[in-house]
Amino acid sequence: MTQNFTVTGMTCGHCERAVKTAIAQLDPQAQVTIDRAANRVEIDSAQPRDALAKAIAGEGYPVSA
Ligand SMILES: [Cu+2]
C-alpha cells in the first residue's frame, strides 16, 4: 500500500537518511521514496499511516499531511 506524506524540514541527504532509517526500524520491508524539493515522502508499507507519520515526526521533521 503506497502512502504519501508531506514532510517539511528535510534539507539534505542526511535528513533523507534519517527518515529512511526511522521507517526501516518500523518496517524493514518498506519501500521509501523521498522528493526533498517537493517535501514528499512516499512509503510502500502495510504499517498504519499513524505509525509511519509518528516515526517521521520522531526524527524532528513535521508531517503536515
Ligand atoms: Cu539534512
CATH code reported for the domain at 2-58 = 3.30.70.100
59 Cα: distance to centroid of ligand 1 (angstroms): 11
The structural domains of the chain, with segments of one domain joined by +, span: 2-58
Q: Which residues contact 14 (CB under 8 A, 6 or more apart)?
A: none
23 Cα: distance to centroid of ligand 1 (angstroms): 16
17 Cα: distance to centroid of ligand 1 (angstroms): 8
- Per the structure block, which three cell numbers stand in for 61? 521533521
Nearest to 61 by CA among 3, 1, 12, 2: 12
Arithmetic mean of pLDDT, 52-61 = 98
Arithmetic mean of pLDDT, 8-23 = 98
Q: Which residues contact 28 (CB under 8 A, 6 or more apart)?
A: none
65 Cα: distance to centroid of ligand 1 (angstroms): 20
pLDDT digits (tens, 9 = 90+) for 17-55: 999 999 999 999 999 999 999 999 999 999 999 999 999
